[in-house]
């Protein structure tokens, strides 16, 4: 079907019907005009039309009946009713039956176009909102969190149990393990999923801004407070507030947050009247909060309020079974984005990925896959490409190639070693000059020097 919006026009007055058809055709719409309402209703198929414009007063089947029958077939399609007798009672009746708009005869072509554009725009917004809701629900379904390892399965089982219970959850794990994704999964599988999910990184803002960002402030509370400001806690009313890196909360904010968790109310800065909201608190940290409690940097009472349920995410190095799945997922996303057709990791590259420690976890892996795809010209991400971004174990001959590799890869590595030595020798060991001549960045040169264990005496 054409990308043009398809409009059905129904009017037994042939002159007016042809005029509307001509105006809409001239403005780029695909139009089909009907003089008989029975034929129009019979020809209407849900999904094949974007808008219906119909007269109300017609012989046989009038416009209100047409509206009713079309709405039975497609409840979402907008219908504009055209009439020379637009009484209040008739308008109310048409709107109650699902009409989008009323157009009174006589009208100018410009008015017809204005009403048509509004109706189509309204439909487009509804469709975009529907797609967004479906995308959000789909994005955070448990089965769309990538992985099949026992460690991840245990996490998801725990998430599924706590999602429906309106309790505070503390998510722990190293940076890059996906703590916010788990928080979103909890929210979008809870009874609060129709309300907002609001996130804040407690370590990204200075103390002076963090308090006002969370709790808001009253006009005149401090210099620059020129109007009342709603905080994130209030913005999340009915939904979920996610406090990432909660261990960075300063003591004064910890005190206010504790009171909220106890009383479900707080004071905006400078306000004497408490604000009451209904918000579920999820939090996350990559630090040891128990140690922070012992050292007096984190309130013990707040810790137990936040840590009603704990979910710990294992690092990627403890989820090796998930590495091939994650790699395939990130490659598929990049293929879709850039129209490429990379098939996956070569056996050697996969072996290297499985043996790597991934201290930056999933976030690091995503970045490595994206960078490798930018460099790769073959059907698979090869070992020489991925080894530019992760360390590959060296073999006895110092080539950095695992035993299972083929002769071609070993030959390529030997060439690269000799090329680098010659390049560095030519530029008197100047890394910046060598990188510029080779068309590489300095970080890549340094990585390769380390990877191949190239020493100064090798090129001096």
pLDDT in the model for residue 143: 54
Token reading at 10:
């129904």
pLDDT reading at 82 higher than 80 = yes
Residue 394: how many other CB atoms lie within 10 Å:
15
pLDDT in the model for residue 104: 86
pTM: 0.58
Token reading at 76:
């979402």
Query: What single string gives the DSSP state of each residue in 249-307?
Result: --HHHHHHHHHHHHHSEE--BT-SS-EE---EEEEEESS-HHHHHHTTSS-HHHHHHHT
pLDDT in the model for residue 137: 47
Distance CA 117, CA 250 (A): 52
Contacts of 201 (CB under 8 A, 6+ apart): 244, 245
Mean pLDDT of 341-354: 89
Among candidate residues 279, 276, 298, the one with its CA nearest the CA of residue 287: 298
Q: Are 159 and 169 in contact (CB under 8 A)?
A: no
Token reading at 115:
């009403």
The share of the chain scoring above pLDDT 90, in percent, equals 47
Pairing mode of beta strands 79-83, 51-55: parallel
pLDDT in the model for residue 390: 92
Residue that the structure tokens 């704990």 belong to: 310
Cα 2 vs. chain centroid, distance in angstroms?
Answer: 30
pLDDT in the model for residue 50: 92
pLDDT reading at 398 higher than 60 = no
Residue that the structure tokens 């300095």 belong to: 442
Distance CA 424, CA 154 (A): 51
On the question of a cis peptide bond just before residue 106, with omega within 30 degrees of 0, the verdict is yes
Confidence of residue 402 (pLDDT cuts 50, 70, 90): very low
Please name each of the domains of the chain with its CATH number: 6-131 (3.40.50.2300), 142-314 (3.40.50.300), 318-458 (1.10.8.60)
Contacts of 296 (CB under 8 A, 6+ apart): none
Residue that the structure tokens 């990585």 belong to: 447
Distance CA 247, CA 307 (A): 12
pLDDT in the model for residue 430: 86
Cα 326 vs. chain centroid, distance in angstroms?
Answer: 17
**3-state SS assignment for residue 9:** strand
Distance CA 69, CA 163 (A): 43
161: left (phi over 0), alpha (psi -120 to 50) or beta: alpha
Distance CA 215, CA 220 (A): 15
DSSP 144: G
pLDDT in the model for residue 192: 94
pLDDT reading at 126 higher than 70 = no
Among candidate residues 75, 68, 44, 319, the one with its CA nearest the CA of residue 173: 319
pLDDT in the model for residue 267: 87
Distance CA 29, CA 18 (A): 14
Least confident residue range of 94-108, 226-240, 257-271, 301-315: 94-108
H or E, element range at 222: none
Query: What single string gives the DSSP state of each residue in 326-348?
Result: HHHHHHHHHHHHHT----EE-HH
H or E, element range at 32: strand 30-34
pLDDT in the model for residue 80: 93
200-213: pLDDT as tens digits:
999 888 877 888 88
pLDDT in the model for residue 1: 41
Q: Are 404 and 347 in contact (CB under 8 A)?
A: yes
Token reading at 239:
């939904």
Distance CA 250, CA 147 (A): 36
Contacts of 41 (CB under 8 A, 6+ apart): 61, 66, 69, 70
How far is the CA of 91 from the CAs of 26, 83, 99, 100, 139, in angstroms?
Answer: 29, 10, 9, 11, 42
pLDDT in the model for residue 168: 96
Q: Are 324 and 186 in contact (CB under 8 A)?
A: no
pLDDT in the model for residue 411: 57
Q: At residue 9, what are phi and psi to the nearest 5 degrees?
A: -115, 130
Residue 261: how many other CB atoms lie within 10 Å:
17
């Amino acid at each position: 079907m054409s990308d043009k919006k398809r409009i059905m026009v129904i009017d037994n007055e042939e002159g007016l019907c042809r005029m509307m058809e001509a105006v809409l055709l001239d403005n780029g719409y695909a139009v089909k005009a009907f003089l008989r309402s029975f034929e129009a209703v019979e020809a209407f198929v849900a999904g094949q039309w974007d808008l219906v414009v119909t007269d109300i007063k017609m012989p046989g089947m009038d416009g209100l009946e047409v509206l009713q029958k079309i709405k039975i077939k497609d409840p979402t399609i907008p219908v504009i009713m055209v009439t020379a007798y637009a009484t209040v009672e008739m308008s109310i009746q048409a709107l109650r039956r699902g009409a989008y708009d009323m157009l009174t005869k006589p009208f100018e072509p410009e008015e017809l176009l204005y009403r048509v554009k509004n109706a189509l725009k309204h439909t487009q917004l509804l469709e975009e909102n529907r797609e967004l809701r479906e995308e959000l629900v789909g994005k955070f379904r448990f089965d769309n969190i990538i992985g099949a390892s026992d460690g991840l399965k245990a996490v998801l089982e725990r998430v599924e149990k706590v999602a429906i219970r309106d309790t505070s959850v503390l998510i722990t794990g190293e940076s890059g393990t996906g703590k916010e994704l788990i928080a979103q999964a909890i929210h979008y599988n809870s009874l609060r999923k129709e309300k907002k999910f609001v996130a804040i990184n407690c370590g990204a803002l200075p103390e002076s801004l963090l308090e006002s960002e969370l709790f808001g402030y009253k006009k005149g509370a401090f210099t620059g407070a020129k109007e009342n400001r709603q905080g994130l806690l209030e913005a999340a009313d009915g939904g979920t507030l996610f406090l990432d890196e909660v261990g960075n909360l300063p003591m004064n904010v910890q005190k206010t947050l504790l009171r909220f968790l106890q009383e479900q109310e707080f004071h905006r800065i400078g306000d004497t009247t408490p604000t009451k909201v209904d918000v579920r608190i999820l939090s996350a940290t990559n630090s040891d909060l128990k140690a922070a409690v012992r050292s007096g940097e984190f309130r013990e009472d707040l810790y137990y309020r936040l840590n009603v349920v704990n979910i710990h995410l294992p690092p990627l190095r403890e989820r090796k079974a998930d590495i091939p799945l994650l790699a395939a997922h990130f490659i598929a996303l990049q293929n879709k984005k850039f129209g490429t057709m990379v098939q996956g990791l070569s056996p050697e590259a996969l072996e290297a990925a499985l043996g790597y420690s991934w201290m930056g976890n999933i976030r690091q892996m995503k970045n490595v896959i994206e960078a490798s795809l930018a460099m790769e010209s073959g059907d698979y991400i090869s070992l020489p490409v991925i080894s530019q971004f992760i360390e590959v174990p060296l073999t006895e001959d110092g080539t950095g190639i695992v035993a299972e590799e083929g002769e071609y890869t070993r030959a390529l590595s030997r060439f690269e070693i000799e090329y680098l030595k010659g390049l560095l020798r030519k530029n008197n060991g100047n890394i910046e000059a060598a990188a510029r001549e080779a068309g590489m960045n300095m970080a890549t040169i340094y990585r390769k020097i380390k990877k191949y264990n190239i020493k100064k005496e090798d090129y001096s």
